[in-house]
Amino acid sequence: MECQSWSSYLEEYQKVVFRLDTPRVVIDNGVCPSATVVKVDSARKHGILLEAVQILTDLNLSIKKAYISSDGRWFMEVFHVTDQNDLKLTDESVINYIEQSLGTIQNGRTNDYAGLTAFELTGTDRVGLLSEVFAVLSHMDCNVVEANAWTRNGRLAAMIYVKGRSGSPIEDSQQIYRIETLLRSVLKGDSYVKSSRTSMVAVTHTERRLHQMMFADRDYERKRPEAAGIDGSSAVAVTVQNWMERGYSVVNVQCRDRTKLLFDVVCTLTDMQYIVFHATINTNPSDNMAYLEFYIRHVDGTPINSEAEKERVIQCLEAAVERRASDGLKLELCIEDRHGLLADVTRTFRENGLSVTRAEISTTMGTAYNVFYVTDTVGDPADPAIIEAVRDRIGLNELQVKEVPVGHVQRGRRDEDTVGGIAGAMLLSIGSMVRRNLYSLGLIRSYS
């Protein structure tokens, strides 16, 4: 009888622990007039904020505001989100997916690329490089299922997922070795090529992996060539201060708002082994600017402890914002997929003097959905006449102009008037937005 009682007590205890460790998700369309509010309460765990933001941004939702705070081992995240049309979420299937996904984030998340071979590439960027990469894959009878490529400061990082021409996995290790050898030859110089058959390994989130690859390539240290920006207001301002009274480092980021901005910043902080304890994110639709403030510590509980470390954090966060904010005209290609399609399209770009600064490639049920950001060979806006000639060659209905670039994200040197002025304003108070939240939560006595 005693054994049976002990077993029942243990079972009840395990149920309580499970309820405590399972995130509680509330999605409300009535609290805010302009956005859907998503609230997550969970046990605190390193990386859990990144996992939550990843779920929302993978759905291409815009995070207009966010409030993050932790108390002991508990963590609270509140996100104000809208869809791609800047409207509240109304699709019940999307809402249910968010609830289910956020409710399981304690278990960790990876992308499923079973049956594909993944190639990771880094190297010196040049005009036509992606065209040569896709030509090699086409020549080696590979079909590209998905790919993402970023360029920054003369460097390229790409994740490419392929299968055999027949649609079957690439099983021949000698073929994979030959592909790697040819890709190294194309990249030349200080390049890096790695492959893995993803049916055997779990793959990190593709965009997080791109951040990691460019971070390992130390793109944040490289001096960016001076460019005549179209709109200097797109500069990034990052400041770091220590709030010694509470043992936090306070990081402020101010820049032009865009999709997945919060993901890029949180991803970098997480991979640099910092924990976000409190944060406030605000966007201003009138000037399209974003204001992000984070209270962070190292995973060992200490704040940033040197000027050199502060400078490194500033450089890395500026790089994180700029990697996705590629200059260039946005072109979308929606067309029936076929072997060699990417090789043909990117060769057309190259032959017409267009440089691809960023690419997002995907295929679904035999249809290719591809996004390219293009400039001319020196990084200036592409000639509209050339764009129309390329569209005419590829297909006017298939290749559409979707977005005109608003400007270059400057980083080659810190502009005293633009970045310095922004940073000066950010330094007027230490963590003003978050301190108000901490005060309302009863974690500090005053925010004045």
Give the chain's largest Cα–Cα span.
86
* Domains of the chain, residue spans: 21-107, 117-221+327-403, 232-325+414-440
CA–CA distance, 444 with 434 (Å, rounded to integer): 11
What CATH class is the domain 21-107? alpha beta
> Residue 164 forms beta bridges with which residues?
142
CA dihedral 234, 252, 218, 346 (to 10 degrees): -30
| Ordered DSSP codes for 267-297 | HHHHHTTEEEEEEEEEEETTTTEEEEEEEEE
Residue-level pLDDT at 104: 83
Decide: 331 and 400 in contact? Cβ < 8 Å: yes
CATH superfamily of 232-325+414-440: ACT domain (3.30.70.260)
CA–CA distance, 165 with 362 (Å, rounded to integer): 16
What CATH class is the domain 117-221+327-403? alpha beta
Q: What is the strand order of the sheet 237-243 is part of? A: 24-28, 36-43, 74-82, 62-71, 274-284, 289-298, 248-256, 237-243
Q: Do domains 21-107 and 232-325+414-440 have the same CATH topology?
A: yes
**Residue 193: closest CA among 207, 179, 174, 173:** 179
- Residues with Cβ < 8 Å from 266, sequence gap 6 or more? 49, 50, 53, 276
Say what the pTM is.
0.83
Tokens of 398: 């298939």
> Residue 364 forms beta bridges with which residues?
367
> Residue 355 forms beta bridges with which residues?
375
CA–CA distance, 267 with 315 (Å, rounded to integer): 15
> Residue 275 forms beta bridges with which residues?
297
Beta strands in 309-398 (DSSP E): 329-336, 354-364, 367-376
pLDDT tens for the 448 residues of the chain, in order? 455 565 665 555 454 444 456 789 999 999 999 999 999 998 878 888 999 999 999 999 999 999 999 887 788 999 999 999 999 999 999 999 999 999 887 655 556 677 899 999 999 999 999 999 999 999 999 999 999 999 998 999 999 999 999 888 898 999 999 999 999 999 987 777 887 655 444 567 899 999 999 999 999 986 554 443 334 445 899 999 999 999 999 999 999 999 999 999 999 999 999 999 999 999 998 899 999 999 999 999 999 999 999 999 999 999 999 998 767 899 999 999 999 999 999 999 999 999 999 999 999 999 999 999 999 999 999 999 999 999 999 999 999 998 765 544 433 333 444 444 444 444 444 445 444 544 444 444 444 4
